[in-house]
Structure 1
Amino acid sequence: MKKLILGAAAAVLSAGPVMGMEREVTVDGGKAPLFGSLLIPEGARPGPAVLLIAGSGPTDRDGNSTIPNVRPANLKLIAEGLATAGVPSLRYDKRAIAKSAPAAPSEADMRFTTGVDDALLFARFLKTQPGVTCVMLLGHSEGALVAALAAQKIDTCGVIAVSGAGRPLGVVIREQLAAQNLPAPLPAQIEAALTELEHGRQVPNIPGLEALFRPSVQPYLISVLTIDPAGALKAVKAPVLILQGDNDLQVTVQDARLLATARPDAKLVVLPGANHVLKTAPTDRAGNYETYADPTRPLAPGVMQAILAFVEAH
């Protein structure tokens, strides 16, 4: 494992104007098209391009969510940072989100593999663009797992796992809910429900927790709860960069280290002060989450340096 810790004094890339052409593109989503934004820098030379894969929930191509106060625009900022350095990129609205919403199946028919298949559609589209010699997959949060699984099915020159969990989702959900000090009998009900779902069995609705355990979302949970992100990354044959902020309240540095242990040849970059959406943030929970609502706040120092160094190296 190659480990690099970037200090707060790391040089910040010039954020000058992004020179290039961004255009909306589509791929065949079956029921309806899936939409994305292809950003080709002006004068781009033949080389790699980066596919940006959003995280969990109702997240669009820019990294913004329909959840109130979750509009960090982190994926858009990464795309612009890549373009400034002459690297093309493609980011897209997940199926069922934003302009890709008409392509959504019923919630009960959604599976985790649906997201993997959609990433493959866009990766293959990106590879056909003029001047693109290979495609790198950059996944944020849950998108890191999507990227690792997609990389096993397509030729890629690299995988960049950003703020990705190193443990199965069932373990992460237990930890996140335990931190909320829920009143009895909810903890026992949650544990029983997760255990049943991990064994492939649906459970009755839990009043008050419909957002997580409603019957229509349970097939999706069954499809993802037991996937091991570390095992998925270990199976990737391409070079790997693991990028993790040490002020992330959703995924820990320990998650990143678990991923790096599975891939000893990976480069692990720990970003001091960066949170889950790659913004410099205070340590208190309220202040940390406030940064999620500000799309104008720049990426934390070191984010683009690490990404661009990896792209250039591979």
Structure 2
Amino acid sequence: MKTISTLIIVFILSIVSLYAQEISGDWSGKAKRGDKEITFVFNITQEGANYSSIMNVPTFRIFGIKPATTTYTNGKLTIDGSNLGMSYVANYNAELQQFEGTYKEGGIEMALNLKKGAVEVADQRRPQEPVKPYPYYEEEVMFQNKEANITLAGTLTLPSKEGTFPVAILISGSGPQDRDETFMGHKPFLVLADHLTKQGIGVLRFDDRGQGASTGDFGNATTEDFSKDVLSAIAYLKTRKDVDKKNIGLIGHSEGGIIAPLAANNTNDVAFMVLLASTSISGTELSIMQSKTLREFPVKDEVTYEKNARKAIAIVTSDKSEPEIKTELTAHYNAFIRPILKDLNVPEKNINAFIENQVNTSIKPWSRYFLQYNPADEIEKLKIPVLSLNGSKDTQVNAKINQNGIREALIKGGNKDYKIIELENLNHFFQECETGKMDEYRKIEQTFSPIALKEVSSWVLEHVN
């Protein structure tokens, strides 16, 4: 009896030890997507009875992403990144001392096991990225958006520690971004900031709310909320003696290019603006356009497809309650999207995951605001100098359509100081490219075309006193 009792006690203690295990620290592992191996690292921190985590994907040079919630109960780890469109659910295997689970993002599912400890990552720096020590002054800064009760963290670079300089604030594109706008193994804002600072123009770039070292909830924020973060950055720069307060400008890329006018029209402290791959059509029209040009599946009838896409947007932007919209939108996607994917022999569970992800993304505050926002209305109000650059091979934002809209809005508003240039053979991120398609971004070693960099810096220098 004594032996059996002892074994039971040991067994019970081992279970208690497992469920009360200290999981704080780095957990890393690799998942396979086709022939590609993707490395994930989750840094888990215990905060009282709760947990939080930071997700890094070194393969794609993505760092500092904050999932919404992290829970660990009875050996089950759940990392809910609904704010990012991802999730990881796993159970702890005591024998192998690892978490075994599934990583989901959109309609993609990958088996992912995590072991304690970080992984060594080879230096994947692209050729244009600067190497420290830099020939200019760099400072890590933090500032407040008091209205939203959040702290934004960033990097300020100035030509020198001594003096007073014009400063451009960089505004990132859609989705959660760090201060370098890291994507597909590139850091375009790091390269742009380095170039501008070397030309005598200071730069402030910062992590989006809820990303990197910035606090706040990215998932429930809108384009308008992000414009208020920019206004907070302007207010911060005005407190510094080394910033020329009469020459603070905004440089926005992609969605950043529609955030910039919104911010500028709510302050008198913006002296100039650069729009990089910016749009000038409503979110609805852009979404319709992208749904046809960027989708990953063919359709038999484009007219019917567009009609159904517009119906989905009408549902999302209606005045109905969120549960009503979710129910109606799910039914519409089941009638509209499911047959298309079934004809392509997509597995049922993948169709379900795709539709669920589409619905959850569509009902977020950002989507509902974006679909109803027309940047041309704000561009028309601009009375400051404006430079607009788009790449001729941009497959995400059509250069001609959107630059025509920008030009018409500026003319309508009576703006006399603007320059609009379509740069040949550049994609959405201003890389010299072959096709401009999104799957090409990672393969290109260049991060930011020197031609585009020079266009920006030369124009800014012409417009600062």
TM-score category (smaller protein): 0.7 to 0.9
Report 1:23-102 matches (<5 A): 23-29=139-145, 30-42=148-160, 45-65=163-183, 70-100=184-214, 102=215
Does residue 382 of structure 2 align to residue 236 of structure 1?
A: yes
* In structure 1, C-alpha distance between the alignment counterparts of 2:446 and 2:162, rounded to whole Å: 27
Note the C-alpha offset of 1:216: 7.7
Measure how far apart 1:32 and its partner are: 4.2
Q: Retained in 1: the 8 A contact 2:427–2:433?
A: yes
Q: Which residue number corresponds to residue 237 of structure 2?
A: 126
| CA distance in 2 between partners of 1:147 and 1:292 (Å) | 27
Q: How far does the alpha carbon of each residue in 1:104-160 deviate from its partner, in whole angstroms, 9 at most, with x for none?
A: 16x3x4222111111111122123322322210000000001001000012211111
Deviation (angstroms), 1:95: 0.9
TM-score by length of structure 1 reads: 0.83
SS at match of 1:99: coil
Q: Is 1:31–1:104's contact at 8 Å kept on the other side of the alignment?
A: no
**Are the aligned partners of 1:74 and 1:278 in contact in 2 as well (CA < 8 Å)?**
no
**Stretch moving more, 266-275 or 34-43:** 34-43
Q: 2:250 aligns with which of 137, 146, 156?
A: 137
8 Å contact 2:316–2:363 — kept in the other structure?
Answer: no
Q: 1:216 to 1:233 in 2, by over 3 A?
A: closer
1:256 and 2:403 equivalent?
yes
Q: More displaced, 162-171 or 224-233?
A: 224-233
In structure 2, how many angstroms separate the alpha carbons of the residues matched to 1:186 and 1:210? 19
- Runs of 5+ consecutive residues of structure 1 not aligned to the other structure: 1-12
Residue number in structure 2 paired with 1:271: 423
Give the percent of matched residue pairs that are identical in Structure 1 and Structure 2: 24
Shift of 1:218: 3.1
Q: Aligned pair 1:313/2:462, yes or no? A: yes
Are the aligned partners of 2:361 and 2:367 in contact in 1 as well (CA < 8 Å)?
no
| Structure 2 gap segments, 5+ residues each | 1-127, 334-351
> 1:220, CA displacement in angstroms?
2.3
Q: How does 1:166-245 map to 2 (within 5 A)?
A: 166-179=280-293, 180=295, 181=297, 183=299, 189-201=308-320, 202=322, 203-204=325-326, 205=330, 206=333, 207=352, 208-214=354-360, 217-245=363-391
Distance 1:71 1:78, change over 3 A: same
User: Residue 219 of structure 1 aligns to which amino acid in structure 2?
Assistant: P
Which residue of the other structure, out of 265, 278, 300, is the alignment partner of 2:449? 300
SS at match of 2:372: coil
> Distance in 2 between the 1:289 and 1:186 partners?
24
What secondary structure, in the 3-state scheme, does the structure 2 residue paired with 1:214 have?
A: helix
Give the Cα–Cα distance (whole angstroms) in 1 for the partners of residues 404 and 460 of structure 2: 21
Q: CA deviation at 1:42?
A: 2.3
Structure 2 SS opposite 1:51: strand
Write the distance in 2 (CA, Å) between the matches of 1:243 and 1:284. 15
Partner Cα distance (1:188, 1:34) in 2: 41
Q: Distance in 2 between matches of 1:193 and 1:289?
A: 27
Question: What CA deviation, in whole Å up to 9, does each residue of 1:229-255 have, x standing for no partner?
Answer: 122111112111101111111111121
SS in 2 for 1:191: helix
Alignment check: 8 A CA contact 1:197 1:218 kept: no
Describe the shift of the 1:25–1:284 C-alpha distance in structure 2 as closer, same or farther (beyond 3 A). Answer: closer
CA distance in 2, matches of 1:183, 1:63: 33
Decide whether aligned partners of structure 1 residues 19 and 222 sit closer, same or farther in structure 2, where only a CA change above 3 A counts: same
Q: Deviations over 1:37-86 (max 9, x none)?
A: 11112266534210000000122111114xxxx23211111100001111
Conservation of the 8 A alpha-carbon contact between 1:48 and 1:135: yes
**Shift of residue 18 of structure 1?**
4.1
Separation in 2, partners of 1:244, 1:76: 19
User: Is residue 148 from structure 1 mapped to residue 264 from structure 2 by the alignment?
Assistant: no
The whole-number CA distance in structure 2 between the counterparts of 1:165 and 1:215 is: 21
SS at match of 1:263: helix
SS of structure 1 residue aligned to 2:137: strand
**TM-score with structure 2 length normalisation?**
0.58
CA contact (8 A) 2:316 2:362 kept: no
Q: Which amino acid in structure 1 is aligned with residue 169 of structure 2?
A: L
Aligned to 1:4: none
- Distance, in Å, in 1 between the alignment partners of 2:424 and 2:361 is 40
2: distance between equivalents of 1:144 and 1:227?
Answer: 13
Task: Tell me if 1:22 matches 2:134.
Answer: no
- Alpha carbons of 1:44 and 1:272: their partners in 2 closer, same or farther (altered >3 Å)? farther
Distance 1:269 1:173 in 2: 24
Deviations 1:259-299 (A, max 9, x none): 122113320022111111111111263xx6333466x6242
**Which secondary structure does the structure 2 equivalent of 1:26 belong to?**
strand
Alpha carbons 2:150, 2:209 under 8 Å: kept:
no
How many residue pairs match? The answer is: 291
Alpha-carbon distance between aligned partners in 2 of 1:311 and 1:210, rounded to the nearest angstrom = 45
The 1:39–1:209 alpha-carbon spacing in structure 2 relative to 1, beyond 3 Å, is: farther
Larger Rg: 2
